[in-house]
Each structure stands twice: as C-alpha cells, then as structure tokens.
Structure 1
C-alpha cells in the first residue's frame, strides 16, 4: 500500500540544496526546474559536468559552489536532494537532515528518502504527480506517457473557464462544491 502523502511544493518560497552535479544531479535539477522554473537551489559538488554549467548559465535562482559538502551547507535549507555515489556521504547527510528536520531525497536510495520525485504529467495549469512508492520509476514514466496522451490539448482552456465559473458562484462553500461537482461531472465522465 502506498502511504505517501502527495503535496505540491512552492519551490520558489523555500531553500533547496542539491549535493552532486554529475549526470544524476543534472537529472534531478532538470526535474525540479521543469516543474518549478523559479526554484531556489544551491548546488554543492566537487565535480561538475559541463551540462550542469550549461543548464544553470541563465538561472539567477541557482548558486553553485564547487567543493566538498560541509555540515554547515544545511543551514537555512528546507529540502535536500543528494545525487552522490558515496554511501558514507549519503548516510552522513541522512543523519544531519533527520536531526534538523529537513526533508531529504537520495537518488536511487529509497530507504534514505523522506520523499520521492515522482513522474509529472503537465499540460498548462494541470499537473498530475505519479508515485510508485519508490518501487518502479520506469513504470511511473510509462504511466506518465499514457496519461499525457489521454489528456486533451485544450485542458488548460477548460481549467480557465472553470476558474471563471467558480469565481462567479455565490453562496456558501457547500453550495459552491455541489455546483462545481455537478458541472465537472459531465466534463470527465466517460461517454
């Protein structure tokens, strides 16, 4: 049973740390910025691949320090992503983040993670996160492709119209929910 609690984080309002800037670090960085183009991320890495330098070139919300990780790098951080092949470093960061109540994701190490980076389907304002509870990122990717193909291209226009309709509704919350449920039932029902 998947007991994860799905949330959508406003990455531009928190401080994130990425440890590692190799191919996996780049993948994690790209995933963050694909969903949150204004995310605030500090990168700490001894080795930095050229693609990371290229990716961060015009992004003002990213800081990069090419050096070894220090415990003090966690000061003021709300969320940490580690892309390291160093088991000792991974365990050290796990211990420190636990002590400081900082959420942690360690690439390809589900047992060290507080959260997972799921597959994301996005069309305009609609964003759907897919989790396999860390069991199969490949399956999540396939489901992402499947769901993306199912969604109509005009879904964002529909969302804009729904927002206008919601803003025009008068009455208490219960009435509004009833009206919105009735209105959306026809949109998503199978014919």
Structure 2
C-alpha cells in the first residue's frame, strides 16, 4: 500500500480572481503603479488612482487620458474615506510607513491589499504573468524572489506554441457548441460532457485544436459526441464524416 503524498504547505492559494466591474484603489503613480494599473484594467476592473501629478508615470498619464474606467485624483492618500466602496487596494509608493498605515486601514475594513515590496503587508501577490488572450499563467515565488519568477516565466513562455491563444479559444467554442447539443447542469450528462472534452483535449494536439473551424467542430461533434467516441485526429474525423 502506497503512502499518501503529503500536501505542500506554507504556500499561497493561486486563484483567478474575477475583477470585472469591481472597484480597485491604486495609491501611487510610478512605474510599479503603472504596471499594476495595466494588470487590473486587463481584468476589466474599475480603478481609482491617487497620486500627485508631478510624480505620474507617462504610461499612467496616457491611460488616464484615454480610459474612462479610471478615475484619477491629483493628491496624496487622505484616509479611510478613500477606501469607501473599494474591493481591492494596491499601494506602490516609496513611503513604507504610509503603505503600512494604508494596509492597516484596509484590513480593518476587510479589503484585500497588496503593498508593493512589503511582503508582510500583502494579502496576495501578483507574481509574473503570461497572458495570451484567455490563457493566463502565473508564476509565483510567494514573495521570495520576483526576479526568479520572471526568469521562470520567460522559460515557460518560450516553449508555448505561437497559436496557443487560438487553441484555448477554439476549445471554448467547442464546449459552447457541445452545451447547445447537450444542455443541462450536473448529473450523468454533465459528467459525460466533461469526460468527452477531456478526451478531445488530450488526444488532439494543441496545433490540431488551434486549426479547428466551425465546420470541423460540427463534424467532430457528429462523429465524436453523437457516437460516443473521439476521433484520434482531424484526418480521422474528416474521413468518418465523408464515409
């Protein structure tokens, strides 16, 4: 009898946090704040940014001028009133004590906060991210070495297929088509749908999945799902549909 593997502890929980239309506060206007701003806007958040204009990074200036999801206040952080209605808070300022003060105010109000370069004052880390359309990969060292996370991310990025974004999009479209043919939530049907999609995703290469078009998806569903099978590749699916 094999001994169960003990779970790794003392790490962070890596999750995909849905920020669409949530309110994010960013305190700071430098390069780090600019990076944070781009990341949360990429998740469709609504952002309030507080920083004196004389220290504002050029990227932030461009975004503030062109993006109506950003509300900018040309001043320093003032106090608890700046945290009203906030779902996530980020600080990226040089004043460590001020960051810690903002952190305490946020935690008192149960607002998750990240204070740049102060790991003990962070409820979460950003890590080093790869984003190709809907595909997102996060490399985190749990605050131990951001540069190492960046180097590891680069290695992963170098081995990803060029068309991996299309692969992910096509699998999503295939799942949507399958749900139309076999609607419903949970139960045996749900398990069968999941099992069939797993087989398609593992038996077909990433490149084959990236090459799927609507006609090919319909043929795959006809010759695969409807017959409770999975063609080994595109050629087999096409041959079966033309037989």
1:45 corresponds to which of 44, 48, 51 = 51
Structure-2 change in CA distance of 1:12 and 1:162 (3 Å): closer
CA distance in 1 between partners of 2:57 and 2:198 (Å) = 50
2:37 corresponds to which of 25, 29, 32 = 29
CA distance in 1 between partners of 2:159 and 2:73 (Å) = 42
Q: Size of the alignment, in residue pairs?
A: 187
- Mapping of residues 81-160 of structure 1, within 5 Å: 81-160=90-169
1:68 corresponds to which of 67, 76, 79 = 76
Q: 1:84, 1:90 within 8 Å by CA — same for their partners in 2?
A: yes
CA distance in 1 between partners of 2:173 and 2:30 (Å) = 45
CA distance in 2 between partners of 1:162 and 1:144 (Å) = 24
Q: Higher RCO, 1 or 2 (CA under 8 Å, sep at least 6)?
A: 1
Q: 1:2, 1:133 within 8 Å by CA — same for their partners in 2?
A: no
Structure-2 change in CA distance of 1:22 and 1:178 (3 Å): same
Unaligned runs of 5+ in 1: none
1:185 corresponds to which of 192, 198, 202 = 202
1 or 2, which has the higher helix percentage?
Answer: 2
Structure-2 change in CA distance of 1:43 and 1:161 (3 Å): closer
- The Cα offsets for residues 24-75 of structure 1, whole Å up to 9 and x where unpaired, read as 2223223333x33x32111111353251223322011111111121221000
1 or 2, which has the higher strand percentage?
Answer: 1
1:172 corresponds to which of 189, 204, 217 = 189
Structure-2 change in CA distance of 1:25 and 1:157 (3 Å): closer
Larger Rg: 2
Q: 2:92, 2:115 within 8 Å by CA — same for their partners in 1?
A: yes
1:187 shift after superposition:
4.2
CA distance in 1 between partners of 2:39 and 2:172 (Å) = 28
